[in-house]
Amino acid sequence: ETGVTQSPTHLIKTRGQQVTLRCSSQSGHNTVSWYQQALGQGPQFIFQYYREEENGRGNFPPRFSGLQFPNYSSELNVNALELDDSALYLCASSFGGSRLEQYFGPGTRLTVT
């Protein structure tokens, strides 16, 4: 069974640029959730995708957007990067339905300068 993978591991962007982060869900999982974890804080929910549809969104502006593909992998896109977007971005996959466990990938460390 393959776990959750994310790419890239880390990247550095300049304020105002755009970035795309990628996530491959665990085998058999059809739901992907994205979280932002600032240094020294708990993860904050960005949004969740279930069977390619957005299934809930946290308190993040529209410049944070996402996609889920037919193979249940997912992308997180952030436009007009701001310094405060510097964080660890985590992807979690789950089965959906009555199984609630969310399993996290290793994250992508984004630094905005």
Partner 1 sequence: QQQVKQSPQSLIVQKGGISIINCAYENTAFDYFPWYQQFPGKGPALLIAIRPDVSEKKEGRFTISFNKSAKQFSLHIMDSQPGDSATYFCAASEYGNKLVFGAGTILRVKS
**Can residue 26 be called a binding residue for partner 1 (CB under 8 A)?**
no
Q: Does 74 bind partner 1 (CB under 8 A)?
A: no
- Per CB under 8 A, the list member of 25, 32, 107, 110 interacting with partner 1 is 107
Between 43 and 78, CB nearer to partner 1: 43
Choose which of 78, 90, 110, 112 interacts with partner 1 (CB under 8 A).
90
Q: Could you give the CA distance from residue 49 to residue 33 in angstroms, rounded to a whole number?
A: 6
Note whether 66 and 75 are within 8 A (CB): yes
- In 1-113, the DSSP E strands lie at 5-7, 10-13, 19-24, 31-37, 44-50, 53-57, 64-68, 74-78, 87-94, 103-104, 108-112
By the criterion CB under 8 A, which residues form the site for partner 1? Answer: 4, 31, 33, 35, 40-45, 48, 55-56, 58, 90, 92, 94, 96, 99-107
